[in-house]
């Protein structure tokens, strides 16, 4: 397992956790380090939805949310 020392947990509200990274990295790599599958989560960087291939820059705020489906 890869360690997550480059990811800093900066806040938690209910079941939501906000992170910051110390070095630029792809959203996909962050999810992988946290053992999360991209198909089950939506990622916001500084409040905007991003794709797994997008980069997170130093000090960006990352919010990882579960995908919700229903009918």
Sketch out the chain's domains with CATH numbers.
Answer: 7-66 (3.10.20)
- Residue 12 banded pLDDT, cuts 50, 70, 90: low
Q: What is the pLDDT of residues 32-69, one digit of tens each?
A: 988 999 899 999 999 999 999 999 998 888 888 888 87
The answer to whether 19 and 46 have CB atoms below 8 angstroms apart is no
Instruction: Report the predicted TM-score, pTM, of the whole model to 2 decimal places.
Output: 0.73
Residue 19 makes CB contacts below 8 A (sequence gap 6+) with: 7, 8, 9, 10, 30, 61, 62, 63, 64
For the record, the structure tokens of 62 come out as: 């990352």
Closest C-alpha to 11, from 63, 66, 65, 60: 63
């Amino acid at each position: 397992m890869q360690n997550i020392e480059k990811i800093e947990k900066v806040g938690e509200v209910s079941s939501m956790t906000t992170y910051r990274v110390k070095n630029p990295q792809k959203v996909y790599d962050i999810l992988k380090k946290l053992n999360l599958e991209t198909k089950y989560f939506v990622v916001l960087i500084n409040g905007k939805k991003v794709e797994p291939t997008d980069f997170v820059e130093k000090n960006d705020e990352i919010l990882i949310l579960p995908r919700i489906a229903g009918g």
